């Protein structure tokens, strides 16, 4: 870009058909460049459009919007519980993360051991949790 002012801050807004999230406002690194820290995505994985907003006096003004600029948020997991269970099975495993698509059959949990592999269908109850 060009013409960014060091006396104000800027934020990036990531938008999809599911919703939008904004980065924290930050000062530009130069008159031609501003960096945004990616905010957590609260929706299912997918492409987003990116817009740059000028933040001044509590109001936001759109600076740049280009439908050709997209960013892909991908689903990812952070934790799961429990970490162990009886070998006979029958116990659910809960996976926490972000960006899960709430669509039947979209995910599977794979369990591997020295004796072989098995998989089960996982169901995303929310964008942040799925169960196997």
Which stretches does DSSP call E strand in the chain? 9-16, 19-22, 46-56, 59-73, 76-81, 94-98, 107-113, 116-126, 129-131
pLDDT digit string (tens) for 28-79? Answer: 888 888 888 888 888 988 889 889 999 988 899 998 776 667 788 888 899 9
Q: 78 vs 14, 27, 75, 97, 128, CA distance in Å?
A: 22, 30, 10, 5, 10
Averaged pLDDT score across all residues of the chain: 87
CB atoms within 10 A of CB 34: 22
Provide the 3-class DSSP secondary structure of residue 130.
strand
More confident residue, 7 or 11: 11
- Cα 104 from Cα 42, distance rounded (Å): 19
* pLDDT surpassing 70 at residue 93: yes
Q: From CA 41, how far away is CA 75, in angstroms rounded?
A: 9
């Amino acid at each position: 870009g060009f013409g960014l002012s060091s006396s104000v801050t800027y934020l990036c807004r990531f938008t999809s058909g599911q919703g939008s999230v904004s980065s924290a406002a930050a000062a530009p690194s130069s008159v031609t460049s501003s960096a945004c820290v990616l905010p957590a995505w609260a929706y299912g994985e997918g492409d987003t459009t990116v817009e740059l907003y000028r933040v001044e006096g509590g109001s936001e003004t759109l600076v740049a919007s280009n439908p050709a600029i997209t960013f892909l948020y991908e689903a990812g997991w952070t934790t799961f519980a429990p970490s162990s269970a009886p070998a006979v099975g029958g116990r659910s495993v809960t996976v926490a993360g972000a960006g899960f698509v709430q669509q039947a059959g979209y995910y599977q949990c794979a369990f591997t051991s020295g004796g072989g592999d098995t998989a089960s269908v996982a169901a995303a109850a929310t964008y942040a949790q799925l169960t196997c």
